[in-house]
Amino acid sequence: MPDSFKKLVTTLEGRLSGIAAKSISGLPSELGTITASGLKLDSFKYEIPDYLVAEWETKLHLPAFFLVGTMTTPVDMDGVPQGGAIPSQRTRFDFAEAEIEDVRLNWQAGMKPGDRVLAVPVNGGREVVVLCKVVSSGD
């Protein structure tokens, strides 16, 4: 490859790398707090009543493990003990290693007022996407 082409390739690589770095560093993510009626971003004085929440889907890897507990019979379809139910002696339950596809993490169901979240304004700031709940490293 002639030196002029090498110089051109080096220049293009440098510029593309700079563009990629700017687009990542320019992501306007910020912290906010879930309120009783919406979301309050730290940098925006008004509460946002309608916001989006990211949905996370993953593959769950469970290592082999065991639990110790008791069995109670009889129970209904919801697992509620029925009249005359008798618990067994303490029993060990062994579970093999497993992978479960398409596990949905529904942390939104557990969000409550006061929770701190990481949010990203999108569509020119007209909408906000809450990415996840954040906690301090001491929690």
pLDDT in tens, 54-113: 888 889 999 999 999 999 989 999 989 998 888 899 999 999 999 999 988 887 888 899
> Which residues span the domain enclosing 55?
29-134
Instruction: For residue 139, tell me if it sits in a domain.
Output: no
User: For residue 115, what are the contacts with CB-CB under 8 A and spacing of at least 6?
Assistant: 33, 34, 133
Mean pLDDT of all residues belonging to the chain: 83
pLDDT score of 126: 84
Which one, of 27, 39, 37, lies nearest residue 116 by Cα?
Answer: 39
Cβ distance 59 to 98 under 8 Å? no
pLDDT score of 110: 82
Cβ distance 29 to 42 under 8 Å? no
Cβ distance 111 to 134 under 8 Å? no
Cβ distance 103 to 82 under 8 Å? no
Instruction: For residue 24, tell me if it sits in a domain.
Output: no
How many domains is the chain built from? 1
Instruction: For residue 82, tell me if it sits in a domain.
Output: yes
In degrees and rounded to multiples of 5, residue 102 shows phi and psi of 55, 45
pLDDT score of 133: 87
pLDDT band at 20 (very low <50, low <70, confident <90, very high): very low
pLDDT score of 12: 57
**Between residues 51 and 16, which one has the greater pLDDT?**
51
Q: Tell me the C-alpha distance between 34 and 48, whole Å.
A: 10
Instruction: For residue 80, tell me if it sits in a domain.
Output: yes
Q: What percent of the chain has pLDDT over 70?
A: 80
pLDDT score of 91: 94
pLDDT score of 23: 44
Instruction: For residue 54, tell me if it sits in a domain.
Output: yes
